[in-house]
Chains A and B, each alone.
Chain A
């Protein structure tokens, strides 16, 4: 089921691109989908760097590798600048971004109202279920 859904979403993106081109809205599907990928990826990377900075001082010992803080801040700036430019350069990519986010939200809504509970008891959503937390 999950593979059918995933394949269907990707095929949906491809068909949307084809439909737009057929309708005369000339888009470069490779470039547009690459831009969409990069928008999501830059956002994720910026948050990961923020997470690393936020977790400074936690769970550290003498062996812990610590990246250079100025470099990490430069990394956040770099990711945000790129993200800003990509959106400025191709604002229509945000439509595709919004559509994919809406799909994720729709799945959540469906599960929230109609789904059964699979998550182990005692743990909230998004929390790892491993028993070997560092």
Chain B
């Protein structure tokens, strides 16, 4: 029985299930996952991870990737079993049939999104100050959140092209850092001893790594969004787990290489003390490009990256609230969105179709 197009939790497309083409291949899904995981957590938190562990902080990212990937396996199992039930709240509800627990999970998802947006906005403010230091940081961060709320309202977030472009910019920034690392090593300047240096201030290295992992974890989240496209994936039972794990490991490798580059090229204390730590790698002036220009360019890249991830958080918030309103767990005024809006339980059929189309056009 075909479902209404405005049904809250409907995971079927506007034309019924038979019209949902399975168009997403394993390779497409791999890049989708990679784009989702490679968020701006690394732009914003890398200094803190360095401060927690010392020069060996790449280990924190490696451990964080491993724990997150194991969680990804659980998502892969649930997604392939219940492709229409995407989302932690619905899995928990299915498993435990406990209303307070389901409500708690939903509030946790919403709260995580609020806190993440706040952290990212503050990071945005730090990179913004590198380009224009005049406005007070608080004003910049508040304005950033308000502008994103307006962008979300206008509906620009539905543009898959904009999303993809910002993801490319995000990855380009990390590639620049890795290139700097390669050049630095090739110049023979790298002191690899840094990579096993634990500056923990007397604490055991194990605790230092755990502290770093907890922060690095922030950079690994986002993979759960891939559950949205399970229905459009070709042969999901085989493709989805491989693409999900592959994408997360690839993201993890990139993070580890970026962390190693930062550790080799910049003193750990400088990274830890900086509000825009990844920029310190650029300021080290290793590439034969004017540092001033590179700094501003990279700050802009970082701001685009942070905007991309924060936009996802902002969209997530409104969708969760919408869903909660429809379920009568928050005031109904949050459910008043115009009929073209999709389910907040991360189900958005037009987006995956467009991803498929855009990638196919690009080939």
Contacts and interface: CB of A to CB of B under 8 A. Distances in A.
Given A44-B112, A86-B214, A114 B221 contact: no
A48 to B, nearest CB: 5
Question: What secondary structure prevails in chain A residues at the interface with B?
Answer: helix
B113 to A, nearest CB: 8
A119 B326 contact: yes
B90 A128 contact: yes
Nearest to B8: A129
Interface stretch (B94-102, B294-302, B348-356): B94-102
B318 A114 contact: no
Contacts of A100: 107, 111, 114-115
A23 B99 CA distance: 40
A133 to B, nearest CB: 7
A85 B9 CA distance: 36
A108 B321 CA distance: 11
Given A81-B210, A111-B328, A13 B114 contact: yes
Contacts, number: 304
Given A1-B333, A65-B240, A108-B103, A11 B119 contact: no
A30 B119 contact: yes
Interface string A89-103: 100000011001101
Nearest to A66: B77
A7 B88 contact: no
B93 A126 contact: yes
Contacts of B81: 55, 58-60, 64, 134
B85 A128 contact: yes
Given A33-B116, A51-B78, A131 B3 contact: yes
B332 A133 contact: no
B115 A54 contact: no
Contact of A104 (B85, B111, B117): B111
Contacts of B337: 2
Contact of B115 (A1, A33, A43, A125): A33
Given A75-B67, A130-B12, A119 B119 contact: no
A84 to B, nearest CB: 9
A105 B321 CA distance: 13
B103 A126 contact: yes
Contacts of B210: 81-82, 85
Question: In this complex, which of A34, A49, A132 has the most chain B Cβ atoms within 10 angstroms of its Cβ?
Answer: A34
A20 interface: no
A55 B332 contact: no
B321 A6 contact: yes
B107 A101 contact: yes
Given A40-B112, A111-B328, A118-B328, A18 B138 contact: yes
A108 B71 contact: no
9 contacts: A6-B321, A40-B112, A51-B74, A51-B96, A63-B237, A85-B211, A126-B106, A130-B11, A132-B10
Which 3 A-B residue pairs are closest in the complex by CB-CB distance?
A104-B107, A75-B70, A51-B95
